[in-house]
Amino acid sequence: MIQAKGIAAFSAKEPLGPYSFTRRDPKDHDVVIDIKYCGICHSDIHTVRSEWGEAAYPVVPGHEIAGIVRAVGPKVTKYKVGQHVGVGCMVDSCQECAHCEQDLENYCLKGFTGTYNAMERDGSAPTQGGYSNVIVVREEFVLNIPEALPLDKAAPLLCAGITLYSPLRHWKAGPGKKVAIMGLGGLGHMGVKIARAMGADVTVLSHSDRKKEDALRMGAHHFVSTHDGSAFEKYAGQFDLIINTVSADLNMGDYFGLLKLDGSLVVVGLPENPLSISPFPLVMMRRSYAGSLIGGIMETQEMLDFCAKHNIAPEIEIVPPTQVNEAYTRVIKSDVRYRFVIDMSKIA
Ligand SMILES: [Zn+2]
Ligand SMILES: [Zn+2]
């Protein structure tokens, strides 16, 4: 077995702390990765605090993993020692259902294997995530990180990046399309940069003017503050696509009204409470309300290559492993511009 050092949650209430555990020795198709950086995603916090159901402690969170190949199993063909690689939210899937066959492992009909707080498909061990110094993953779920992307900034692309890239692609953001991004946080700021690079006309919808300069600097063409409600009249019927990255409870009816005929509002953030929505504004203009969950492996690779080609990277703040608990407190207060990344090389 391979000795691993990590940062784990031991219960819903305690702070995270150091944890020693083991990773499997590489099988034929496994890649052993020295983790250099891991992003902090809000999902990590929801999971370790059992807000999405009781977690299986101890949990080593982290699914925005960037590192360097340490070793490969004898039958690995795609990766070699020293290569820059990443791992996102999935480490396995059934590989044979109708969705996996279409490269949509994220919608595997038997459920994909999460990078942490899940069980390996053979039941041998719980999966443990990227707040650690090493991980072993089958090669089909390893991504190549192009040399043009620095490893620290590449990390958040593995969840935040693909979470926005996939719906922008699916709903065809591009020239001639008006796209609005709700919320300028870890997810939203990636949406702005990617939608802009795809050629869409990009608007940020935000509850205050606080992030206006940042939004425009990141590539948004327009910034609309929704705080006094007048924007909902002024911009009614303007957008082809709105992506909601905000987890707060909002009156979605107001936002449906901003869509054109046949426009879609896509949710990628998960509010804690169910939404109550009126179908009237949907019915009136044949609008759609939809959801989207990360992306498949092939599309995730496409996103990494796209970001490298267009020089797109998240804006990050690097923290040492000893400051994960403080970082969590700040994520909850939205006090981060725009994503925390843990420097895993500093793990004690
Ligand atoms: Zn995530
Ligand atoms: Zn499947």
CB of 285 closer than 8 Å to CB of 261 = yes
Instruction: Output the CA 124–ligand 2 centroid distance in Å.
Output: 19
Region label for 82, one of left (φ > 0), alpha (ψ between -120 and 50) or beta (otherwise): left
pLDDT of residue 276: 78
Is the previous residue joined to 15 through a cis bond, with omega within 30 degrees of 0? no
Residues 36-46: pLDDT tens digits? 999 999 999 99
d(CA 37, CA 153): 9
Instruction: Output the CA 108–ligand 2 centroid distance in Å.
Output: 4
Lowest-pLDDT range of 72-86, 149-163, 231-245, 275-289 = 275-289
Average pLDDT, integer, range 82-96: 98
Instruction: Output the CA 161–ligand 1 centroid distance in Å.
Output: 9
Instruction: Output the CA 170–ligand 1 centroid distance in Å.
Output: 19
Instruction: Output the CA 43–ligand 1 centroid distance in Å.
Output: 5
Nearest CA among 4, 7, 120 for reference residue 58: 7
Give percent above pLDDT 90 in the chain: 93
What letter represents residue 130's amino acid? G
Neighbours of 344 (CB within 10 A): 26
* Helix/strand/coil for 213: helix
pLDDT of residue 80: 98
Instruction: Output the CA 301–ligand 2 centroid distance in Å.
Output: 19
pLDDT of residue 108: 98
Confidence of residue 277 (pLDDT cuts 50, 70, 90): confident
Q: Comparing 291 with 229, which gets the higher pLDDT?
A: 291
Q: What residue ranges in the chain does DSSP mark as E strands?
A: 2-8, 17-23, 30-39, 65-72, 84-87, 90-92, 113-114, 134-138, 143-144, 178-182, 201-206, 222-225, 239-244, 259-267, 288-291, 316-319, 339-343
pLDDT at 272 over 80: no
pLDDT of residue 152: 98
Nearest CA among 66, 69, 62, 65 for reference residue 128: 62
pLDDT of residue 167: 98
* Helix/strand/coil for 144: strand
Instruction: Output the CA 292–ligand 2 centroid distance in Å.
Output: 17
* Paired strand residues for 69: 33
Residues 17-69: pLDDT tens digits? 999 999 999 999 999 999 999 999 999 999 999 998 999 999 999 999 999 99
Neighbours of 177 (CB within 10 A): 18
Ligand nearest to the CA of 157: 1
Q: What is the DSSP letter of 40?
A: -
pLDDT of residue 138: 98
Nearest CA among 180, 203, 172, 164 for reference residue 265: 180
What would the two tokens of residue 174 be? 């591009």
d(CA 185, CA 195): 15
pLDDT at 180 over 90: yes
What would the two tokens of residue 17 be? 């702390």
Ligand nearest to the CA of 270: 1
pLDDT of residue 119: 97
Instruction: Output the CA 186–ligand 1 centroid distance in Å.
Output: 10
Average pLDDT, integer, range 164-185: 98
pLDDT, the chain, mean: 96
pLDDT of residue 274: 79
Instruction: Output the CA 48–ligand 2 centroid distance in Å.
Output: 26
d(CA 114, CA 119): 8
Work out the burial of residue 204: count CB atoms within 10 Å of its CB; fewer than 13 is exposed, 13-18 middle, 19 or more buried: buried
d(CA 220, CA 67): 31
Work out the burial of residue 278: count CB atoms within 10 Å of its CB; fewer than 13 is exposed, 13-18 middle, 19 or more buried: exposed
Instruction: Output the CA 312–ligand 1 centroid distance in Å.
Output: 18
pLDDT of residue 210: 92
Work out the burial of residue 7: count CB atoms within 10 Å of its CB; fewer than 13 is exposed, 13-18 middle, 19 or more buried: buried
DSSP string, 215-270: HHHHT-SEEEE-TTSTHHHHTTT-EEEEEE---S---HHHHHTTEEEEEEEEE-S-
Residues 310-338: pLDDT tens digits? 999 999 999 999 999 999 999 999 999 99
pLDDT of residue 213: 97
Give residues whose Cβ lies within 5 Å of ion ligand 2. 93-94, 97, 100, 108
Instruction: Output the CA 327–ligand 2 centroid distance in Å.
Output: 35
Give percent above pLDDT 70 in the chain: 100
pLDDT of residue 278: 85
